[in-house]
A and B are shown apart, each in its own frame.
Chain A
Amino acid sequence: MSLAAARSELTLAEKLRRLDWRLVLVLIGVAGVGTAALYSAGGMKPDPWAAKHATRFAIGLGLMLLVALVDLRVWMRLAYPAYVISVLLLVAVDVIGKGAMGAQRWLDLGPIQIQPSELMKVAAILALARYFHGLSREQVGRIAYVIPAVAAIIVPVGLVMIQPDLGTAMVLLSTGAALMFVAGVRLWKFLVAGTLGAASLPIGWQLMHEYQRNRVRIFLDPDLDPLGAGYHILQSKIAIGSGGMLGKGFGMGTQSALNFLPEKQTDFIFTMWTEETGLRGALILLALYAAIILYAHVVALRARSHFGRLLAMGIGITIFLYVFINTAMVMGLLPVVGVPLPLVSYGGTAMLTVMFACGLLLGINVHRDLVIPRP
């Protein structure tokens, strides 16, 4: 115990040496794709999106490295307070938030606007990792110990649903469930939860906003409204399909340039990229994401602290979910839920959240040999 504790005190130089630059390179690759796509979306101009996107990424890189150097135990200590603050901010946004696209997601803090639901994504993972870190295998098996974890997920999911932000709620819920799964919660509990969830679907339907119900209806049958809400899915599929193997060429996407694509700088950026660069470009981008997700797995399996393992898993799951939900949506496999593509979609808070999470990932790798005892 003392040996491990002694070994865990790394000097700054050791930490720097242990920073994994391969992840940084992959991240630069993804953000590069994002910047290029936004450059094209802006009509082959750095304004209004590409330049800002690159700048934000550069700031994010700095933040990421700082986060990576902070001792893992510090993050563990901060986990609960961060979670509580995030919940409070979510409540605040529900009360006084500023609407964008008919939903309250933003909190105006003078010069900057923040999206508490983005913060919650990291905070919830931190809190769950911290919680399960403190449980023995036997405890995890007991239902009494699982209930607080479920509550810790349900509360933010509910708050985000109220906003309403179906996409983020889905991501939070799925992340929480996946994290509990790897933490060792019994399988039958998931079955029970799943059954209960299915049974409560009609109630959820009642609680949904009309526009959300329409999205689901149109997802199930896009022909319902070919010029209205189904238009987005159809136009997105046309853009992707017409791109073909090699794409229409950078900056030559007709669907996006002629504004047939909605929200081409945010939720539908993958469509634009795919229209212009074809199957080749799309697979390259997906491969970069796969590399990040795989890296998260490797880090999780190498870490010696349970907190680090769970945290790395959680981050990997979140990034995977974002990529999957966004791309599946634009390809017509999932209903249109506003979920950004990490590091490629335009948007400040989401970018910082992802960079922060990647910083944690790097940090877990730096402190992989650190053993943190159960409290």
Chain B
Amino acid sequence: MRRDADRYTLFTRRALILGGVKVGLLGALGARLYWLQTVESEKYKVLADDNRINTRPLTPSRGLIFDRTGEPLAANRNNYRLLITADKGRISEALKQAETVLERLERVIDIGERERQRILEQMRRNRSFVPVTVRENLEWEQVAQIEFNAPDLPGVSIDLGQTRDYLHPELTSHVVGYVGRVSPEDLRDSDDPVLELPGMRIGKKGVEKGADELLRGKPGGIQVEVNAVGRVVRELDRTEGEPGANLLLTIDLELQRYVTERLKDQSASAVVMDVVTGDILAMASVPAFDNNTFARGVTQAEWQELLNDPGKPLLNKAAQGQYPPGSTYKMVTALAALESKAISLWDRLPCVGFIELPGDQKKYCWIHPAGHGWPNVIEALQMSCDCFFYEAGRRAGVDRIAEVAAKLGFGTATGSGLPEEADGLQPTRAWKQERHSRPWGVGDTYNLAIGQGDMLATPLQLAVMAARIGNGGYDVKPRLIAATAGAREPLQPPPVQLRPDAPSLKFNAHFMKAVQQGMDMVVNSQGGTAFGSRIKEKGMAMAGKTGTSQVKRITESERGRRMSQEELPWHLRHHALFCGYAPVDNPRYACAVVVEHGMGGSRTAAPITRDILVEVQKIDPSRRRDRFKTAALGGGRTVAEAAPAGETTDPKRGGP
């Protein structure tokens, strides 16, 4: 018994120790519970709500784009999308079900084997409950049929989104641009949550890109309760978004159509500007493309075809095409020489058809070997005498030329509102040193003086120069957007403006007059390089300047043979340029035309400019407000407002 008592004592002692350990451990549990449920409770409540509540932005309706008369250029169209969702726990079961469903759908819409594979593959890859798009842009009849058969089509739903619709694709594709899917780079560059929406489209080119923030609008949102696999259990809250602002462009569709027609069958571009306001009334680049292709999603084949076209239809040549301005640049040289007192208005310089360079080299005038005699600056512009400008340029120096060029808009993008606009290239001493590690030479000045060498300009920059000369030296800025208005406010046509409100560029009025007179005589005097393209309609006469820029250096042998441009293959022919304004006595409209490989400015570009300037004066878009169609606003805005892309109508519960 003693032994058992002994055993019992030991047992009791150890049982008590063990009990103490248990109490300690249970105490630790209690402490942990207390810590989680009181001290850290708020943190976990937030996390639980984060789990449970999912905020989904509602895609705002994109702002519409109109021409200056209220004609819609870009609108939204309802897009019924057919979605299929894997809602079975096991993916193999879900796929089997989806295959049957797709087979049944085949009776209503044509899917095809390749699409079928894509859909099933995407379903396999996606998480459950993330819908896969089967087909976009369903016809209403197809929608109705699918809704009717909904009970036999588990997992199928129809979603109402919007697609962008361009109403004048071939006329305005370059200016309006297009929208496209949000790329990973877009997501990196912006933290706007709306970009993460499935099916969201943002501006990729043209005004659509330049004014994207305005057009995008503010997203609304729905708060939904979701379960662990992301399926929506119920809607908790909804805030409607704000549709994007509507834009009234400065473009006049009627003029745009005329310009595009006039350029047809060439690789050419033209810009028409209001010299008072800076409004870009037309900007055309041909050949063009259909921007609807991009809004819907361009296929690889379509993309390749556009890339392979020698006319480069994707390039907006009016803003992105960069050409040596050639003789159109002589106004810059003239102003620089006059302003710097390098020459006076009465100075005459000799032209024997060439000038001599050190080292027994010659630099020719275009009229070699005849020569222009002894022209003054006005006559030199009229006849486009190279020799005069070689000397005038040499005397003025590159710095003064570049300074005037910058004032007239060369060397930097004009800020018209097109994001893809090119800068052109205005060579300077610093540029030459940096780019070629060589100091600027007098030969460079000779080249620059006649707009050749490294000098590059866009047609838009030429139009800006013509406008700033035409208005007598005011710093008008080109613009594409005339007015914006919130989605529910009416758009107003821009007010008629008679005097430029832009600051003066501070050119000497006499010098400016002389340059204007030279440009007048180019067109309207016998011996002017564009005399054949003068405007005969009363009160509409234009002033301007021809330009021909070399694509390829003219060899001495070709010069000796007096080789004609027609003998060259198309892609080696000179570019033809012209810029000018009208009417000559009270300029209002400026125009620049560049015909790629058009051989000569006076030959191809000047007649086109003439026709365009006549047309724009006939239409007179800047002074006539009566052409504004308020009705078009109402008519064009039939699209559903803020139809949320994220929202899905369940076919089982009835149609949208």
Contact = CB atoms under 8 A, between A and B. Distances in A.
A259 B37 contact: no
A214 to B, nearest CB: 20
Given A255-B48, A259-B229, A240 B11 contact: no
B44 A240 contact: yes
Nearest to B17: A181
Interface stretch (A49-57, A163-171, A274-282): A274-282
Given A238-B44, A258-B51, A182 B14 contact: yes
A69 interface: no
Contacts of B22: 293, 320
A301 B43 contact: no
Interface in B1-22: 3-4, 6-8, 10-12, 14-15, 18-19, 22
A306 B11 contact: yes
Contacts of B36: 237, 240-241, 331
A204 interface: no
Contact of B37 (A137, A240, A258, A313): A240
A245 B38 contact: yes
Contact of A182 (B11, B40, B52): B11
Contacts of A278: 37
A136 B25 CA distance: 31
A260 B231 CA distance: 12
Contacts of A255: 48, 51-52
Given A137-B10, A317-B18, A331 B48 contact: no
- The A contact surface, by secondary structure, is helix
Nearest to A275: B48
Interface in A190-205: none
A282 B33 contact: yes
B3 to A, nearest CB: 6
B187 interface: no
Contacts of B18: 178, 181-182, 313, 317
B225 interface: yes
Interface in A275-315: 278-279, 282-283, 286, 290, 293-294, 297, 300-301, 306, 309-310, 313
Say which size band chain B's interface belongs to.
35 or more
- The B contact surface, by secondary structure, is helix
B48 A242 contact: yes
B26 A237 contact: no
A207 interface: no
A242 B44 contact: yes
A137 B43 contact: no
Contact of B30 (A184, A259, A283): A283
A241 B47 CA distance: 9
A237 B44 contact: yes
B41 interface: yes
A244 B41 contact: yes
B634 to A, nearest CB: 46
B47 A331 contact: no
A53 to B, nearest CB: 24
A161 B632 CA distance: 79
B226 A301 contact: no
A94 to B, nearest CB: 29
Given A237-B36, A241-B36, A254-B52, A184 B45 contact: no
A320 B48 CA distance: 30
A255 B18 CA distance: 36
A137 B2 CA distance: 11
Contacts of B568: none
Contacts of A241: 36-37, 40-41, 43-45, 47-48
Interface string A259-279: 110000000000000100011
Contact of A327 (B7, B15, B29, B48): B29
Contact of B48 (A137, A254, A317): A254
Contact of A184 (B10, B43, B225, B233): B10
A265 to B, nearest CB: 15
B310 to A, nearest CB: 52
A259 B129 CA distance: 15
Contacts of B40: 241
B186 to A, nearest CB: 26
B187 to A, nearest CB: 21
Contacts of A279: 33-34, 37-38
Contacts of B25: 320, 324
A126 B434 CA distance: 94
A290 B15 CA distance: 15
A328 interface: yes
A331 B40 CA distance: 13
Contacts of B10: 137, 184
Contacts of B226: 258
Interface string A223-257: 00000000000010111111111000000001100
B32 interface: yes
Given A244-B45, A259-B229, A331-B33, A301 B38 contact: no
Contacts of A320: 22, 25
Contacts of B34: 279
Contacts of B29: 286, 324, 327-328, 331, 333
B228 A260 contact: yes
Given A258-B228, A279-B38, A313-B18, A306 B33 contact: no
A370 B36 CA distance: 47
Nearest to A282: B33
A313 B17 CA distance: 12
A27 interface: no
Contact of A238 (B7, B51, B233): B51
Residue among B47, B48, B226, B228 with most chain A CB within 10 A = B48
A243 to B, nearest CB: 6
Contacts of A183: 11
B149 interface: no
A285 B28 CA distance: 15
Residue among B18, B28, B30 with most chain A CB within 10 A = B18
Contacts of A306: 4, 7-8, 11
Nearest to A240: B36
Given A242-B48, A306-B11, 18 more contacts: A181-B14, A182-B18, A237-B36, A238-B48, A238-B51, A239-B44, A239-B48, A241-B44, A245-B41, A254-B52, A255-B51, A258-B227, A282-B37, A283-B30, A300-B11, A301-B15, A306-B7, A306-B8
7 contacts: A137-B10, A182-B15, A184-B7, A241-B40, A260-B52, A300-B11, A309-B15
Interface of A: 136-137, 140, 178, 181-184, 235, 237-245, 254-255, 258-260, 274, 278-279, 282-283, 286, 290, 293-294, 297, 300-301, 306, 309-310, 313, 317, 320, 324, 327-328, 331, 333
Interface of B: 3-4, 6-8, 10-12, 14-15, 18-19, 22, 25-26, 28-30, 32-34, 36-38, 40-41, 43-45, 47-48, 51-52, 225-229, 233
